[in-house]
Structure 1
Amino acid sequence: MPRTVIEPFRVKSVEPIRLTTPEERARRLEEAKLNPFRLRAEDVLLDFLTDSGTGAMSARQWGGIMAGDESYAGAASFFRFEAAVRDLTGYPFVIPTHQGRAAERILFSVATKRGDVVPSNTHFDTTRANLEYGGVEPLDLVIPEGLEPRARHPFKGNIDLARVERLLAEQGGRVPFGMITVTNNSGGGQPVSLENLRAYRDLLRRHGKPLVVDACRFAENAMFVKLREPGQAARTPKAIAREMFSLADGCTMSAKKDGLANIGGFIALRDERWVEAARNLLVLTEGFPTYGGLAGRDLEAIAIGLEEVLEEDYLRYRLRTAEYLGEKLLAGGVAIVEPTGGHAVYLDARAFLPHLRREEYPGWALCDALYLAGGIRGVEIGSVMFGKRLDDGTETYHHHDLVRLAFPRRVYTQSHFDYAAEAILELAARAREVRGVRLVRQSRYLRHFTAELAWA
């Protein structure tokens, strides 16, 4: 039997990609103030900025959209959505939101107070910002291997249990709950093992603390468990995912990732502890409890997506895509986060551009260089995204400067990834020509979305 892992779908509708010249890209990047977020999508050849809401929906999902019930209250589409979330998570209380960051904001508003500390393996940007906005400290406690790009560990997303135990012993009164992100986005899309998740749950339970999962990429994590964790190979991804949720007390979810939808999210909870307050805030800021900022058609698409995302052939192809690009880059001597994660390949910008100082933001500079070289849009996971300019004018820096190339689901084919590899390897051959950048304007929170930069 052939060994090539093919796309487990066929193309039914196409969207043109506009080819641009290097000269045009240089103009467009200057107009965007050197910020890839500010580029027009029509000026991007391969858009690896994010896998959030950028995927292609299936024929079943489009059919579900036509059946969407747009009633304001009690729509049939909500009950189909609720049933799908309950079937997956086992949690009885389901609160729809327009996307993941709304779920985070609502849950943190009702479950935390100023001065609290919330541990996780690694908080991603919106999670961190929503906690900090409420005066809560987001604490990253990933295992040491998770901080080493070249460390080969099957579950680099695991949380450091010894450090969590120390935190609970010394500051337990400040910890309202523990979090964990599956897969660990900021650390390279790395998975969390069932063993680690179970031990984390047990540790929190001994201290009377609930566990909340950031479940954006739960299906990819489940597939990694199947492939890498002893004793799990014979299980289905759905069975593994259900066990993951059974070990926690609730979750926040961006359905724009492993919900295979273009918009949407939810909070799902095991008990009523935060439900009434969360629903009250939902009504105030998002919408009625049976739509929560979403159209009925979106609820239908998510309900179907939560089923399709757990198909094993799809997940095998999804993980192999990142592995395929990663192998090509490693063979060409490009440093990446190893092993490859589920939804993206992460370039190590400091290794790629060793001539740039951290003050020149090598991750951001590499993003700009990739766009100029090949029309590829990625995102910096480093000192612009996670660093800060303090009140005294000094700057803090992140321990990594990475470039994430996140792959929209069911959108690009193998030739697109071959092109990306060629463009990156060609850029690596002339890496010393890449210039650093400096921040010109920035906002207080999530500055990377809107910042203006200039060449250093």
Structure 2
Amino acid sequence: MSHYPAEPYKIKAVEPIAMTTREQRQEYMKKAGYNTFLLNSAEVYIDLLTDSGTTAMSDKQWAGLMIGDEAYAGSRNFHHLQEVIREYYGFKHVVPTHQGRGAENLLSMIMIKDGDYVPGNMYFTTTRAHQERNGATFVDIIIDEAHDSQIEIPFKGNIDLNKLQKLIDEVGADKIPYICLAVTVNLAGGQPVSMQNMREVKALCSQHGIKVMFDATRCVENAYFIKEREAEYKDKTIAEILKEMMSYADGCTMSGKKDCLVNIGGFLCLNDDDLYQQACELVVLFEGMPSYGGLAGRDMEAMAIGIKESVDFHYIEHRIAQCRYLADKLTAAGVPIVKPVGGHAVFLDARAFLPHVSQEEFPAQALAAELYIESGVRSMERGIVSAGRDKITGENHKPKLELVRLTIPRRVYTYAHLDHVADGIIKLYQKRDQIKGLNMVYEPKLLRFFTSRFEPK
């Protein structure tokens, strides 16, 4: 029998949540165009849309808000954040941003030239959008197993070194400004990357003068999996593993709204002095001064404290256990999910859940909508809608994985909440033949999954 550790915290404040009827939810979903992003939070019972910015902050973080230094330049909270990042991540320079995509924007602008190629271990929506906007072509070099939801291997987020070498041989190293290495890989199901793979990627890139940039958004979750699955790290602390991970990168983008345990904020880290200077010049244009970058001093203080709290073993053990608890309940009922379960979410395999709905009928989008109507649980699509269109042909990208993401916020819900989630999904699975596909009736040009609207077929 699996062991699920109890919450390593106690509840100090509560927020009432919506209790709605099925009839109300049907109307809310219709009004939202069958897009869960367009629901109002007041209409949602359990919100698993994202773990981005939905963290419950600690008492120490709330106390930190009260010592915010809101100076326009040189805030003491920036210096504290810089000190903590250097201690735990080891990078030389840090540029705060309002959130992770602000860091992605800066990195893409200072490093990419028109006609470049940026390889990575599976695309992420905003990351690829910034890369393409600046003239690059994204190339997926993740191992093949990552595109199969049922293969169970310990490090499904690893980069295929042969694919990377093949790209270098085909386009030349001078056309590859950096490799984008995500730890963990969101769209593969929150899958981790091994320390050995990071080490090998860094060595290969160094031979060709290519920089390695981490998408470090969920790096603490990745560190936990390394401790659990790579024998040589079982006696290392999360902080020690995290520091070594970062030593194999030349910089990183970070959405602090995930593993830094805050509701807003991010940063770009760099070791290269010239790149740092360029980033400082651009951050003034797009975000703010290099010492605040779109954040209040109080937010930087909360992030510094959150980084320290994030490496506590009991915290991250419980976080991973919540994902496994939900996954185990679904698996026991025969519900198809991505295996092995990752660190921040459980992903329903919409192709296997709804085999009668073609990919062009948006099965994951339809499943997410029906889950809300059934249970009041908000999830999100990660399939053909999120993948968007080819920038040259205009055709839909058709990813092999057609998923619904059930993203568990940090320190927010209990196991009892997850019981309700599982019950709703299992009920839906038992009547899955009744679920129909959708037509898209409105599509924006960029990042369409946020605001597209649909109607039932």
Shorter-chain TM band: over 0.9
C-alpha displacement at 1:358, in angstroms?
1.0
C-alpha displacement at 1:373, in angstroms?
0.5
Going from structure 1 to structure 2, the CA distance change for 1:13 and 1:434 (only over 3 Å counts) comes to same
- Give a deviation string over 1:343-381, Cα, whole Å, max 9, x none: 000000010011101111111011001001001111111
C-alpha displacement at 1:245, in angstroms?
0.4
Aligned to 1:453: 454
Going from structure 1 to structure 2, the CA distance change for 1:390 and 1:242 (only over 3 Å counts) comes to closer
Query: Is the Cα–Cα contact under 8 Å of residues 112 and 177 in structure 2 kept in the other structure?
Result: yes
C-alpha displacement at 1:4, in angstroms?
4.0
- Give a deviation string over 1:140-181, Cα, whole Å, max 9, x none: 111111111010100000011110011111212311111100
Aligned to 2:322: 321
Aligned to 1:271: 272
Whole-Å separation in 2 of the counterparts to 1:75 and 1:392: 48
Aligned to 2:102: 102
Whole-Å separation in 2 of the counterparts to 1:224 and 1:392: 39
Aligned to 2:217: 216
C-alpha displacement at 1:387, in angstroms?
3.1
- Give a deviation string over 1:251-286, Cα, whole Å, max 9, x none: 000000001000000011112131111111100110
Whole-Å separation in 1 of the counterparts to 2:397 and 2:98: 32
Whole-Å separation in 2 of the counterparts to 1:88 and 1:156: 25
User: Greater shift after overlay, 333-342 or 433-442?
Assistant: 433-442
Going from structure 1 to structure 2, the CA distance change for 1:7 and 1:246 (only over 3 Å counts) comes to same
Query: Is the Cα–Cα contact under 8 Å of residues 389 and 396 in structure 2 kept in the other structure?
Result: yes
**Residue 343 of structure 2 corresponds to residue 342 of structure 1:** yes
C-alpha displacement at 1:3, in angstroms?
4.6
Whole-Å separation in 2 of the counterparts to 1:397 and 1:454: 21
Letter matched to residue 221 of structure 2: E
Aligned to 2:306: 305
Q: Any residues of structure 2 matched to 1:27-46 within 5 Å, and which?
A: 27-46=27-46
Aligned to 2:249: 248
Query: Is the Cα–Cα contact under 8 Å of residues 142 and 157 in structure 1 kept in the other structure?
Result: yes
Query: Is the Cα–Cα contact under 8 Å of residues 123 and 181 in structure 1 kept in the other structure?
Result: no
Whole-Å separation in 1 of the counterparts to 2:333 and 2:256: 35
What SS is found at the alignment partner of 1:235? coil
What SS is found at the alignment partner of 2:8? coil
**Residue 69 of structure 2 corresponds to residue 69 of structure 1:** yes
Whole-Å separation in 2 of the counterparts to 1:309 and 1:407: 16
Going from structure 1 to structure 2, the CA distance change for 1:201 and 1:360 (only over 3 Å counts) comes to same
Aligned to 1:368: 369
- Return 5+ residue gaps in structure 1 as ranges: none
What SS is found at the alignment partner of 1:179? strand
C-alpha displacement at 1:395, in angstroms?
3.3
Q: Any residues of structure 2 matched to 1:112-191 within 5 Å, and which?
A: 112-172=112-172, 173-191=174-192
Whole-Å separation in 1 of the counterparts to 2:111 and 2:347: 33
C-alpha displacement at 1:390, in angstroms?
6.9
Aligned to 2:381: 380
Whole-Å separation in 1 of the counterparts to 2:250 and 2:72: 29
The alignment's TM-score, normalised by the length of structure 2, stands at: 0.98
Query: Is the Cα–Cα contact under 8 Å of residues 390 and 396 in structure 1 kept in the other structure?
Result: no
C-alpha displacement at 1:439, in angstroms?
1.1
C-alpha displacement at 1:133, in angstroms?
1.4
C-alpha displacement at 1:92, in angstroms?
1.4
What SS is found at the alignment partner of 2:446? coil
User: Greater shift after overlay, 114-123 or 215-224?
Assistant: 114-123
What SS is found at the alignment partner of 2:94? strand
Query: Is the Cα–Cα contact under 8 Å of residues 387 and 398 in structure 1 kept in the other structure?
Result: no
C-alpha displacement at 1:444, in angstroms?
1.5
User: Greater shift after overlay, 388-397 or 19-28?
Assistant: 388-397
Letter matched to residue 194 of structure 1: M
Going from structure 1 to structure 2, the CA distance change for 1:180 and 1:391 (only over 3 Å counts) comes to closer
Aligned to 2:79: 79
Whole-Å separation in 2 of the counterparts to 1:293 and 1:353: 43
CA-based RMSD: 1.2
Query: Is the Cα–Cα contact under 8 Å of residues 440 and 451 in structure 1 kept in the other structure?
Result: yes
C-alpha displacement at 1:122, in angstroms?
1.4
Whole-Å separation in 1 of the counterparts to 2:159 and 2:3: 35
Going from structure 1 to structure 2, the CA distance change for 1:61 and 1:401 (only over 3 Å counts) comes to same
Whole-Å separation in 2 of the counterparts to 1:395 and 1:185: 20
C-alpha displacement at 1:394, in angstroms?
4.5
- Return 5+ residue gaps in structure 2 as ranges: none
C-alpha displacement at 1:389, in angstroms?
7.0
**Residue 198 of structure 2 corresponds to residue 197 of structure 1:** yes
Going from structure 1 to structure 2, the CA distance change for 1:107 and 1:31 (only over 3 Å counts) comes to same
Going from structure 1 to structure 2, the CA distance change for 1:233 and 1:397 (only over 3 Å counts) comes to same
Whole-Å separation in 2 of the counterparts to 1:355 and 1:247: 45
Going from structure 1 to structure 2, the CA distance change for 1:281 and 1:390 (only over 3 Å counts) comes to closer
